[in-house]
Amino acid sequence: MIERLHVIKLLKQAKKAALDQDVLELKSLSDQTIHSVSIYQDEDNMLAAIFIYALAKLIERKEKYSGDDFAKYLKLFLHAIDNSISCIDKDFCEEFKGYISSMLRESEKLPGEFKEDIKFVFRKARINKASKVYEHGISMEKTAKLLGISQWELAEYVGPMGASEYPQSRTLDVKKRVKRAMEFFE
């Protein structure tokens, strides 16, 4: 794991936000990690981003679930965060990956609709975060491989958006570019 301290800090902040049930903070923390992922192409940072985003979605949809199901699964998430921090702190990064995987296995024990919703949330979180990495300029092949999804799944999500829909890719018309160039040399 390239950025151990960053991931530890991120997970601690995520735990606090989860306890406060602050969905916006969780989504923000998840998005912050995407920048690191795009630079280092680090699978562990990506797992943290997906995990935190899925946690945000779970809390966001809590009204949909029975109180017991939600409380039980939230407790599992928080326990996984604690264990992940401990593993990363001791440089046992493979165990960190194991805790994230265990969250998916634990979802198999949940009641019908809740189980399917959790699987859906994790799947969508992976695709959503993959599209964010792709927006940072990492190839679709590399992004899909990093996330363990197919290029087709990623293409379905990012394909409908044209480059001009991203503010960073819009260009100025010729007159505005000339004006900026003139201002630059004044």
Cα 42 off chain centre by: 13
pLDDT digits (tens, 9 = 90+) for 43-56: 778 888 888 998 99
Q: What is the pLDDT of residue 164?
A: 46
Residue 129 predicted with pLDDT over 60: yes
Which whole number is the average pLDDT over 101-114?
72
User: Total domain count for the chain?
Assistant: 1
CA distances (Å), origin 46, targets 7, 63, 122, 158? 10, 28, 13, 18
Q: Measure the CA dihedral 36/40/43/47, to 10°.
A: 0
Residue 85 predicted with pLDDT over 60: yes
For residues 84 and 9, the answer to whether their CB atoms sit within 8 Å is: no
Q: Provide the sign of the torsion angle of the four alpha carbons 116, 143, 128, 81, taken in this order.
A: positive
pLDDT grade for 21, boundaries at 50, 70 and 90? very high
pLDDT digits (tens, 9 = 90+) for 142-179: 888 877 778 887 787 776 554 445 455 567 788 888 88
Q: What is the pLDDT of residue 153?
A: 79
Residues 20, 13: Cα–Cα separation, whole Å: 11
pLDDT grade for 15, boundaries at 50, 70 and 90? very high
Single pTM value for the model: 0.74
Comparison of pLDDT for 28 and 155, the residue scoring more: 28
Residue percentage of the chain with pLDDT more than 70? 88
**Within 10 A of 139 (CB to CB), how many other CB atoms are there?**
11
The domain of 140 spans 4-185
Q: Which two tokens stand for residue 128?
A: 């959503």
pLDDT grade for 16, boundaries at 50, 70 and 90? very high
